[in-house]
C-alpha cells in the first residue's frame, strides 16, 4: 500500500509517519519509483507498537528507539527483546546507600527465592519493591508480602503468560507485553479498589 | 506530653505541628496554662494519619481536611468514613459523553454484578476501569477482565479485608486503609512485573 493508505489504515497522520521513518522507528518501504514506496503489514504492525509504547507506556522517543532496535535485532533472543521493553516500562528507582535499603533488598531477594522466581539483579521492579518496603517501614509497618507475591504469581502463571504471542511477529509480542503490563496493571488496581469497597460495605453494613 | 515531646515522638517539626493546629487538621491539646497545652496518644495517631495521607496518598491539604473531618465526625458510620478516604485516594477520571464510554461502563457494571460486588455508581475506580477499557478497545484489544476481577476479589477477601482495624480508633483504620490501598497496590504491581519476568525467562530459556 501507499503511504496515504498506510496512514488511513493505521490512523497515524502522514507527517508523523514521515517523522518515524526519519527517526528510524519505522523501517523504509519498498521503493517502487523515484518518489514512491510500498508499505505492508509489517509497517502497520510497527505503527501499532509505536502507538502502544507512546500512548500506553508513555515512553520518550529515545526509549522507543531502543525497544525498536531490540525488535529489529533478530539475533536477540525473544526473552531479551521482551526484557528490554519490560525494563523500559518500569519507573527507575534510585537505590540509596543506606542500611535500611540493604535490608529491604535482602528481604525482596529472600521473597523471590522463596517463590523460586528467576529475576535479574538489575530488574527495576526489584528496586521498586525494595523502595516500597523502605517506605512502609519508615511509617512503622512491617508488611507481609508473601500473600501478594502468591496472588501475583498465580495471575501471571494462570492468565497472563499464556497471552503473550511468543511465536508470532516480534512487534506483536512486544505490543502485547506493553498493553499487558501497563493497562492490565491499571485495570487490576481499579478492580482491587472496587473489591475493597464492596468487601468493606459488606463487612460494615448494618453496624 | 508537651508540644516539644509530641514533635520528638512523631518526628514532625514543631512549626509543622503548629500549622496543622491552625488548619484544623490536628485537634487542640488540653490547655494546662495560659501558654501551654498537653498532647496525648490521639495527637500522635493523628500525625501518623496526616503523614500517611500526605506522603503516601500525596493528597493536597484540602483533601486531607475532608478526610480528617470524616474521621472526627463520630456520627458518620465507619464504612462512610473509610469511603471518604478511599475515594480521595483515587485518580479522578472525567467521563466522556460518547457511546464507547457508555459501553465500557455497561461492561464494568456487568462484571461487578457477575461477582456480586456492591459498589456506589460514583466510585472513582468504576470510571477509572471504564477509561482503561476504552483505551484497550481503541488499541484494537477486547480484554477479558474476569480473571483479573477474580484475582483481585480473592486477594481482598482472603488477605486485605482482615487487616483493616475496623474496631480500633478511627484514625488508625483510615491510616491502615491508605497504606493498604496505595503502598500494597504498588508492591503488587512490582511483584507482578517480577513474576512476569520470571515466567517469561522460564518459558523462553533454551529457545
**Residue A66, in any domain of the structure:** yes
- At A207 the pLDDT is 44
Name the closest residue on chain A to residue B10, using Cα atoms.
Answer: A139
Q: pLDDT below 50 — which residues of chain A?
A: 207
**Residue A79, in any domain of the structure:** no
- At A203 the pLDDT is 85
- At B206 the pLDDT is 54
- At B207 the pLDDT is 44
Inspect the interface and report whether the beta carbons of B203 and A161 lie closer than 8 Å: yes
- At A206 the pLDDT is 54
Q: Within this chain, do residues B29 and B103 fall inside the same structural domain, yes or no?
A: no
pTM of whole model > 0.90?
A: no
Work out the minimum CA distance from B38 to partner chain A, whole angstroms: 24
Q: Within this chain, do residues B99 and B186 fall inside the same structural domain, yes or no?
A: yes
Inspect the interface and report whether the beta carbons of A148 and B188 lie closer than 8 Å: yes
**Residue B101, in any domain of the structure:** yes
The neighbour count for residue A137, using CB atoms within 10 Å, is 15
Last-in-domain residue among A74, A101, A127: A74
User: Which of B52, B145, B201 comes nearest A191 by C-beta?
Assistant: B145
DSSP single-letter state for residue A168: S
Name the closest residue on chain A to residue B204, using Cα atoms.
Answer: A79
Residue with cell 512490582: B190
Work out the minimum CA distance from A35 to partner chain B, whole angstroms: 31
Inspect the interface and report whether the beta carbons of A125 and B191 lie closer than 8 Å: yes
Q: Within this chain, do residues B176 and B136 fall inside the same structural domain, yes or no?
A: yes
- Nearest Cα neighbor of A126 from B155, B182, B197 is B197
How many CB contacts within 8 angstroms connect chain A with chain B?
A: 247
- C-alpha grid cell for residue B151? 484475582
Q: Within this chain, do residues B123 and B93 fall inside the same structural domain, yes or no?
A: yes
- At A8 the pLDDT is 96
**Residue B136, in any domain of the structure:** yes
Q: Within this chain, do residues A156 and A114 fall inside the same structural domain, yes or no?
A: yes
Mean of pLDDT values over B25-39: 94
β partners of residue A31: A37
- C-alpha grid cell for residue B90? 483515587
Q: Within this chain, do residues A65 and A94 fall inside the same structural domain, yes or no?
A: no
CATH number at residue A67: 1.10.1660.10
ipTM of the complex: 0.90
Residue with cell 500473600: A147
Q: Within this chain, do residues A93 and A171 fall inside the same structural domain, yes or no?
A: yes
Mean of pLDDT values over B47-69: 92
- At A99 the pLDDT is 94
Work out the minimum CA distance from B190 to partner chain A, whole angstroms: 5
Q: Within this chain, do residues A66 and A105 fall inside the same structural domain, yes or no?
A: no
Structural domain boundaries, residue B102: 89-198
What is the total count of domains within chain B? 2
Last-in-domain residue among B62, B88, B114: B88
Give dist(CA B14, CA B8) in Å, integer: 9
Name the closest residue on chain A to residue B159, using Cα atoms.
Answer: A147
pLDDT tens digits along A149-204? 999 999 999 999 888 888 889 999 999 999 999 999 999 999 999 999 999 988 88
Last-in-domain residue among B40, B65, B88: B88
Q: Within this chain, do residues A183 and A112 fall inside the same structural domain, yes or no?
A: yes
> Is pLDDT above 90 for B95?
no
Q: What is the DSSP string of B120-155?
A: -TT-HHHHHHHHHHHHHHHTT-----HHHHHHHHHH
CATH number at residue B10: 1.10.1660
CA atoms within 13 A on the CB side of A76: 17
Amino acid at each position: 500500500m501507499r503511504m496515504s493508505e498506510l496512514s488511513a489504515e493505521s490512523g497515524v497522520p502522514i507527517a508523523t509517519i514521515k517523522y518515524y521513518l526519519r527517526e528510524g522507528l519505522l523501517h523504509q518501504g519498498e521503493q517502487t519509483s523515484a518518489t514512491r514506496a510500498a508499505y505492508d503489514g509489517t509497517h502497520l504492525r510497527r505503527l501499532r507498537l509505536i502507538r502502544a509504547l507512546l500512548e500506553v507506556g508513555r515512553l520518550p522517543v529515545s526509549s522507543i528507539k531502543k525497544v525498536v532496535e531490540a525488535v529489529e535485532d533478530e539475533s536477540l533472543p525473544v526473552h531479551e527483546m521482551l526484557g528490554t521493553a519490560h525494563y523500559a516500562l518500569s519507573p527507575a528507582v534510585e537505590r540509596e546507600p543506606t542500611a535500611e535499603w540493604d535490608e529491604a533488598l535482602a528481604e525482596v531477594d529472600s521473597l523471590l527465592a522463596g517463590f523460586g522466581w528467576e529475576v535479574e539483579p538489575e530488574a527495576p521492579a526489584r528496586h521498586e519493591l525494595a523502595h516500597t518496603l523502605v517506605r512502609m517501614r519508615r511509617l512503622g509497618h512491617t508488611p507481609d508480602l508473601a500473600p501478594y507475591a502468591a496472588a501475583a504469581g498465580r495471575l501471571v502463571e494462570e492468565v497472563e503468560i499464556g497471552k503473550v504471542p511468543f511465536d508470532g511477529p516480534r512487534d506483536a509480542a512486544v505490543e502485547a507485553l506493553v498493553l499487558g503490563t501497563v493497562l492490565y496493571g491499571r485495570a487490576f488496581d481499579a478492580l482491587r479498589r472496587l473489591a475493597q469497597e464492596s468487601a468493606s460495605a459488606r463487612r460494615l453494613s448494618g453496624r
